[in-house]
Chain A
């Protein structure tokens, strides 16, 4: 028996609403779980054991990293289950017990791979697993289903992207395609079962705006990381081996120890990347969840697109890099790409749609609600960039987070 919106609002207000959250070991999921616990909600995390570490231990490590106190974790419970398996791989008793205690579900679990050869895995994670969770929702008292999607479900659609379900003709990758299909699947099942559905569509999420802390270092981090890897590699070659390998590639040391990497990166006029910090995403999620008991579709994006040219300059300034240039397509006509450029081009083949993006994400629904709470995403400026990158470097791009 599902509870009414009013009852759900009461439970939320009293913090007695019991929320099942999936994807708690992921970047967004762990932050959301932490925020919900801090808000006083009762949170049930569905997670699985991995590499000999139990689901509970994994969550414990993450919450330690998030700085959650023992008090914050009082209303936390962890269910060791596998989302990609029917009935979550739980025995009947555990499954029914779980179904009996859920008021809301926040579904964050997702496979963000852009790899074409991993399409079936991405489909299994983004569609198949959602089906399993919707089955649970249907057999439980779940009144509200919160689906964390992406701003990029619009696929190859150009122009204005509305806060509504879309059926694009084409997608850039399996991730977009499956996330789009997931929205429709959730819509269909929730309608049928009388569950209110909220869809949250963040753009690219970076580290915390205050500290730069992050758990994930892909997307906007990746090219910077690559440039730094190349810088370190060739700087060492120059200093220790006289530049035997650097010289033929046109890599050299410049004044004040700056490293010249001859890399041209193709950019598009008026395009760039839409980045929001993770703390903004979390705050926006909580506001939208609280303000819209009847659900809806919400973009959580930055109003200001950041041109790649700016990010290139930020990276050069912060890390003592020279030679990296943002160029228009014409610059590539007369001079073939070198190895470094092939590497960046390959990256841009996958991430280009998000790095050279001129689309506008409508915020008709989400904007006023967030503004009401004075919530506007900070600009991805040099300050935020440098905080995020400093933390990335400090954490060994994630390698030193959980040794």
Chain B
């Protein structure tokens, strides 16, 4: 029988979100050994998913790299847990089928086709070494596409992994000589489709050096270093950084949009986050921002501009940490009240990380399975009365203030109880029981009362095993071990490392819209949210509020609104395309009408600018 990849494996492979979570050891369970050895994305599970899908479509022939990629998979299973934790998918099936499929074709005597080394490749290899530049289609394919629905695949001619700044500069110079366009990839992907070219892709994944300079409160990082890796290093030394999504590279994130997170409440964004940066410009020349003669990339221009070059080093700020920090949730039924509270925290300088979250975010952050997340998303508003919650990380003094300011606070201990007791919390009997309690005030007020705590703990029986009971049976032991680790229920740690944020798109690919907004007029935020909702409804797209984080002492905020699509569905792709046509002029109009409104797309490639230059125009 002719070797074949099953429909199930093909469908799963097509669903890979390209979040590169399989490229960082975020669960402490190890990394794909083949990927560590050959850090092309192709050797990681993410690349293997693309290759498997391409093979199922008959798009690839057997090449040396393809055979190596298939054979170097040890079927160790590390990726299964890593992927399941955030997406709910079990990629082991794909890994196994890819391996078996290639073995079967080889067993049938199919020849492996070598791709000839051309002159350009020879010159690129002379710069980076023979292993780190390739034109093998199996590798090229994994750098050709992303779930971004508004751009088609673009196959690069070469993929190059430079190992140093000088190699980057030399590769750029050569690209110019060869008249080849080039694109830079930090950790392998971009959800906005900006990292594709039919020329050279420069993947920075070999440049992963981190140097902490405690005396200067700074960390120097190379462009292959991810937020997770830097945070881990910084945290181990008693510091914190304002980090992006865990798999995003630090340099790439700064250059692209500037790093923003819930910590931007106190750490700011864009130029606030770094001390100095080093670039290789588009001509191959090296410059540092602190040189007087360097281009002024602290300035901002409201236009879609190219990046200032390839960042080869960022010296980012380290922030102090105290040992009494905890995360709390302040629940609200009304969005305006939640925003008012978050703004108040900002302007009174209370708390560190602050965000107004909706039930979709809260449910997905806390739930290890899609089913549990869906049930919690419903129960939060319907039963518990929590439509929104202000999440705050604060020290003891901040929390004392929050207790005085807020009617009800869900503290870190209660959050842990709710998280580990989630299956029981969503049990029908329990929900019926608490539903019957509701009268003149929302239920969260009752459940957060200290006297109820022992009862809640008895009823929910929170434990690592309890929450692990909500995932596939064969993963339960692994999940129980994960959730037994204190950091997995520590809201400070989870918010610093952001390992659960990718769960937002567990059920579908997420298309995030980010807008800087003024925080002193709730009507503007309402108008933006209702506008996003209206456009999505008009196109029949699934949509939800994302988050809002106050910035610059509560004067401004960053707002995220999300659309959800199946990126493999052509009809949905067309719908989001039509939505984009509406969104651009509508947001542009709002931006003209209201001070402080700015679509993040204008900050792309200007992430090094001073935030004041785009927040106050």
Contacts and interface: CB of A to CB of B under 8 A. Distances in A.
A385 to B, nearest CB: 18
A211 interface: no
A117 interface: yes
Contacts of B455: 230, 249, 339-340, 343
A339 B439 CA distance: 18
A249 B437 contact: no
A350 B443 CA distance: 12
Contacts of B527: none
A65 interface: no
B438 A115 contact: yes
A215 to B, nearest CB: 14
Given A114-B438, A350-B438, A339 B453 contact: yes
Nearest to A234: B458
Contact of A349 (B432, B436, B440): B440
Interface in A196-239: 218, 222, 225-226, 229-230, 233-234, 237
Interface string B395-432: 00000000000000000000000000000000011001
Contacts of A246: 458
Contacts of B441: 116, 349
A248 B451 CA distance: 12
Contact of A233 (B452, B453, B459): B459
A124 B385 CA distance: 19
B388 to A, nearest CB: 13
Given A226-B433, A343-B437, A350-B438, A337 B451 contact: yes
Most buried by B among A230, A337, A346, A350: A346
Contacts of A114: 438-440
Contacts of A336: 451
B430 to A, nearest CB: 8
Nearest to A344: B437
A229 B455 CA distance: 11
A229 B437 CA distance: 14
B442 interface: yes
Most buried by A among B436, B446, B459: B436
A336 to B, nearest CB: 8
Nearest to B382: A118
Interface in A287-344: 336-343
Interface residues of B, number: 24
Contact of A225 (B433, B456, B458): B433
Sort chain A's interface into a size bin.
Answer: 20 to 34
Contact of A173 (B440, B451, B457): B440
A229 B439 contact: no
A399 B385 contact: no
A118 to B, nearest CB: 8
Contacts of B458: 233-234, 237, 245-246, 249
B142 to A, nearest CB: 42
Nearest to A219: B436
B333 interface: yes
B385 A117 contact: yes
B585 interface: no
Contacts of B454: 245, 248-249, 339
B440 A397 contact: no
B449 interface: yes
B451 A350 contact: no
Given A233-B459, A245-B458, A342-B446, A115 B452 contact: no
A342 B448 CA distance: 11
Contacts of B429: 229, 397, 399
A222 B436 contact: yes
The 9 closest A-B pairs by CB, nearest first: A350-B439, A245-B458, A339-B455, A339-B451, A115-B438, A222-B436, A342-B451, A346-B437, A114-B439
12 contacts: A113-B438, A117-B333, A117-B442, A218-B436, A237-B458, A249-B454, A341-B451, A342-B452, A346-B437, A347-B436, A397-B432, A399-B432
Interface of A: 113-117, 173, 218, 222, 225-226, 229-230, 233-234, 237, 245-246, 248-249, 336-343, 346-347, 349-351, 397, 399
Given A115-B438, A399-B428, 9 more contacts: A117-B333, A225-B436, A229-B429, A245-B454, A249-B454, A338-B451, A339-B451, A340-B455, A342-B452
